[in-house]
Amino acid sequence: MLHEKSCGAIVYRRFHGNIEILLIKHVNSGHWSFPKGHVEPNETEIETAKREILEETGLDVIIDPTFRETVTFSPKRDTQKVVVYFLARAKKYDFKPQEEEIAEIRWVDIVYATNILTYENDKTIVNKARASIKESGCA
């Protein structure tokens, strides 16, 4: 069996007293999710997450390493994929989509994000991220 690993983050910001998260729509599949991508050789999970967020959205972020959630699934026969998600605070809010991969990017109120996200695993992670942001006093 082939094993793949990607890392990314739930990127958030405070906006008019609310917490918003960054959602991306993928060009190929059309699904809504979070910025993420494959781990490069000799790269840590956090380095991968920061690089992929920057490549896909143009945003520089501060990663919270205390929030680490994983999703495991089989994207195709004989392949197991693990995706590690962190929580990340955006330093600035103006994004620039990577045209080859990203069809659309949106800041969405965290309360409504589950209405847009495609996969149940992502909806579960948003709820965990929301609780984590509240606990940290950032909300």
Structure tokens at 63: 């990663």
Count of CA atoms in the C-beta half-sphere (13 A) of 20 = 15
Q: How many CB atoms lie within 10 A of CB 94?
A: 8
Q: What is the mean pLDDT of the chain?
A: 93
Structure tokens at 72: 């495991």
Question: Given this model, what pLDDT does residue 50 score?
Answer: 98
Structural contact between residues 84 and 69, judged by C-beta atoms closer than 8 angstroms: yes
Dump pLDDT digits (tens) for 38-86. Answer: 999 999 999 999 999 999 999 999 999 999 999 998 888 898 999 999 9
Name the pTM for this structure. Answer: 0.92
Question: Given this model, what pLDDT does residue 29 score?
Answer: 85
Q: What is the mean pLDDT of residues 90-110?
A: 93
Q: What is the DSSP letter of 118?
A: S
pLDDT of residue 136 exceeding 80: no
Structure tokens at 49: 């997450």
Dump pLDDT digits (tens) for 44-53. Answer: 999 999 999 9
The residues near 109 (Cβ < 8 Å, ≥ 6 apart) are 18, 19, 20
Q: How many CB atoms lie within 10 A of CB 41?
A: 4
